[in-house]
């Protein structure tokens, strides 16, 4: 087993794992993350080129990028709020306490931000 250690302050483990598997296939058996260090677990047969590729994938990783499953989950969380008819939305907003309203607005804005960034929604 080859363990590559790469400094990275924040990661999205699901996305990074998916990206590593897409780039390296079965050579990558997984990753671990602790104290700002990503450890990529590669099989002993990983070539120098594959090790360099693994390092490049980790270094290019953006923790804000979501997997398709994570995007779907976020959409499911946000969509019911958007799909309410206007009068029901107003009534719901009026009955929410301030903390719940702020949380729902934050989720809605995060959904919109991601939809714009990803080119759909």
Confidence band for 121, pLDDT divided at 50, 70 and 90: very low
| SS3 of 51-96 | HHHHHHHHHHCCCCCCCHHHHHHHHHHHHHHHHCCHHHHHHHHHHC
Distances in Å between the Cα of 70 and the Cα atoms of 3, 93, 108 are 27, 26, 15
Domain 2-60, CATH number (from 1.10.150, 3.30.450, 3.40.50, 3.30.70): 3.30.70
Predicted confidence (pLDDT) per residue in 62-89, tens digit = 988 888 888 777 766 665 666 677 788 7
Q: pTM of the entire structure? A: 0.63
Report the C-alpha gap between 27 and 63 in whole angstroms: 23
Mean pLDDT of the chain: 86
Report the C-alpha gap between 57 and 50 in whole angstroms: 10
């Amino acid at each position: 087993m080859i363990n590559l250690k790469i400094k990275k302050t924040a990661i999205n483990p699901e996305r990074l794992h998916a990206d590593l598997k897409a780039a390296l296939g079965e050579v990558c058996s997984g990753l671990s993350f602790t104290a700002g260090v990503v450890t990529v677990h590669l099989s002993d047969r990983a070539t120098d080129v594959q090790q360099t590729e693994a390092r490049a994938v980790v270094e290019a990783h953006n923790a804000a990028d979501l997997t398709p499953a994570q995007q779907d989950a976020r959409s499911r969380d946000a969509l019911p709020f958007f799909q309410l008819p206007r009068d029901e939305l107003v009534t719901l907003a009026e009955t929410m306490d301030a903390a719940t309203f702020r949380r729902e607005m934050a989720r809605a804005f995060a959904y919109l931000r991601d939809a714009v960034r990803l080119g759909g929604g």
